[in-house]
Amino acid sequence: MNTRLRTRYIAMVLVGVAFLLLKGWLRGYTGSLVQSYQGNIAASFATFFVFALAPIPWLNRLWTAALALAVVEAFELTNGFGVMTNVYDPFDYLANAAGVALACGVDALLARRAPGS
């Protein structure tokens, strides 16, 4: 993986983390639906790019999405891996899938705009 691609992936992880951290601050600007699932979408988005950083040759966009989705859905299923308290909401699974899908789309769009990186 070249430096430009690694930098792009790290930047996208930071974008996801920023939206996760800004969840409380954005509360007044977003509706309750966005507020309820913004954390799931942001964390799933960041998780996709964390996996994309892995130096595994066979890890293409599809496998990256599958692994990221498996991890975030397992987090929901196990109530935060038994480490964090997580409030069960069946729509969290859909929000997680939306976050991974958004990350896939952003990755594809950025790859198309900057080929070879």
The model carries a pTM of 0.85
Position 95 scores a pLDDT of 93
How far is Cα of residue 35 from the mean position of the Cα atoms in its chain? Answer: 16
Which tens digits make up the pLDDT trace of 28-57?
Answer: 666 666 667 888 999 999 999 999 999 888
Residue ranges making up the domain that contains 50: 3-113
Q: How many domains, in total, are found in the chain? A: 1
Position 81 scores a pLDDT of 65
Distance, CA of 4 to CA of 18 (rounded, Å) = 21
Minimum mean pLDDT range among 25-34, 55-64, 78-87: 25-34
